[in-house]
Amino acid sequence: MTINLSRRRFFAASAAGLVTSGLSTKVLASEDNAIHWDKTVDFLIVGTGFAGLAGALEAHYQGMKNILVVEKMPTPGGNSIINGGAISAAGTDMQKKLGIEDNPDLMFKDIMHHGGHINHPELARKIADESVANYEWLKNEIGVHFSSVYYHGGHSVKRSHGVEEKCGAGFINPMLAKCKEFNIPIRLVDLITNEKGCVLGVRVETHYRNEKGKGTGFENIRSIHGVLIASGGFSQNVQMRMSHDPRLTKAFGSTNHAGATGEMIRLAQRKGANTIHMDWIQLGPWTSPDEKGFGKAPLFVESLVGYGCMVDIKTGKRFFKETGNRKERADAIVALGHPALIYAGAANVKNQVPKTMNAEMLETSIKNGVIGKFDTLKQMADFYHIPYEALEKQNERMNGFLKNKQDPDLGCKFFPDSLPNDKGPFYAVRLWPRVHHTMGGLEINDKAQVIDVDGKPIAGLYAAGEVTGGVHGMVRLGTVAVADCMIIGRTAARTAAAFNGC
């Protein structure tokens, strides 16, 4: 097998505006016999994140010999390599050892419920049903090392399986290790179709020099089994996201890497692809204004939902349940009009945070001021200018809920090992949401085929991961997207292996 990873850039739309290719319709819609092909591969994949690499490796397992993966950024991994480092699976060996009762039906129910039942059920069902097999594939075939199982808001049980590295590199690096070599840098420009609309391959710009430079030539690459688009979403494209939700101005930052600009969605649309759920754009409720991008705060915060206490800094009072799903919590914080605060005592931090952060991450975040550490609740209140008497009363009330494992005020979910936050040091993070995930994208079926505006599959075109819509509906539950990317990426490779070309 040859899996070539070409490390340069697609023809991208900048965050400031949409850019078209400028190529003639005649070139892009030429008949197969009128095109000069510079090279031919068995399968071509756009993007080196979870979905793209899973698709590439599965293509190899399906018997394809010459697999090419193209990437617009200077390094591989995209958003995936900086993600939180966990994947959802329902009914694993790790869960059973911890006494966690879970199954695909419950996971499917959670996905559909928090997705507002606008999810495409056949896609959500596929993710839930194949979640354990995918987890086992990662562990046994790819060499991913899992270390913990923890909770993410909205799930019924703990089913987020974390890797030893505490970040997405724990998945991406073992997957890259299976992809032997990188090829010369190339830049994707457009899809090439025949007169019937079947995708034959791609046209790429070659010899790309730098971020502002231009390519010096073009290559046409024929892909016998079709093209898999696994290029991610559009969280960094302010104009594109405002087109679907005008509230998401540049005032809202993003957790995503700079290349999440959605150009492949628009490119596929120009080929007749349909899109769905484009206005469902998720804000992460666990990001902090005290650091940029995704940062480290989400790893700390999400480990403490169901253990810590989230309050309005101005009042010292709770305002929403800590275990709510991402949309619920983000909307509640934005409604305050200013950052909120989540905090926990020493015991809960000691027991829970190591599942998502190593000691170096924690100490660095404290040193950088992202995580505050205080000997007493009074010190914490003074530092963040929180009314102390109100906070003290709220903390006592919350501690009672933690002891009794019931929250009559807001309905927070607690766990058997949830402890009162009654002893210092107290650890705290300020919260202000950032654009994190675009739930909408290209419409696909359960074979990962891209669907056109007439409801029919586009021959030879597949999509997986955040570039697609349908799986998550209104709300993406934490770590479900990692399963989505890998399961649908692998599904695309299986579908492509059975496709004999246009």
CA gap 378, 389 in Å, rounded:
9
What CA–CA distance (Å, rounded) separates 275 from 270? Answer: 11
53: which residues sit within 8 A by CB, 6+ positions away? 69, 172, 175, 176, 178, 179, 489
Contact call for residues 233 and 468 (beta carbons, < 8 A): no
Give dist(CA 50, CA 232) in Å, integer: 10
Of 483, 479, 443, 481, give the one whose Cα is nearest residue 463: 443
User: Count of CB atoms within 10 A of residue 375's CB?
Assistant: 11
Catalytic position from the list 318, 326, 434, 490: 326
Residue 465 neighbours by CB under 8 Å, 6+ apart: 47, 49, 50, 51, 52, 230, 231, 232, 481, 484, 485, 488, 489
Report d(CA 321, CA 307) in Å as an integer: 11
DSSP code for 308: S
Report the C-alpha gap between 232 and 441 in whole angstroms.
9
- Classify strands 426-431 and 372-374 as parallel, antiparallel or unpaired: antiparallel
For the question of residue 476 being annotated catalytic, the response is: no
The CA dihedral of 326, 329, 330, 333, to the nearest 10 degrees, is: -170
List, as one string, the DSSP characters of 355-397: GT--HHHHHHHHHTTSSEEESSHHHHHHHHT--HHHHHHHHHH
The SS3 call for residue 148 is strand
Q: Which amino acid is at 450?
A: V
Q: Which among 497, 415, 409, 499 is positioned nearest to 67, based on CA atoms?
A: 497
* 214 CB-near residues (< 8 Å, 6+ apart): 205, 208
The CA distance from 313 to 372, in Å, is 14
Short-list 484, 187, 166, 394, CA closest to 302: 166
Distances (CA, A) of 393 to 57, 201, 317, 499: 55, 64, 9, 65
Q: Are 384 and 361 in contact (CB under 8 A)?
A: no
CA distances from 332 to 3, 201, 342, 402 (A): 46, 46, 13, 22
Task: Enumerate the active-site residues.
Answer: 326
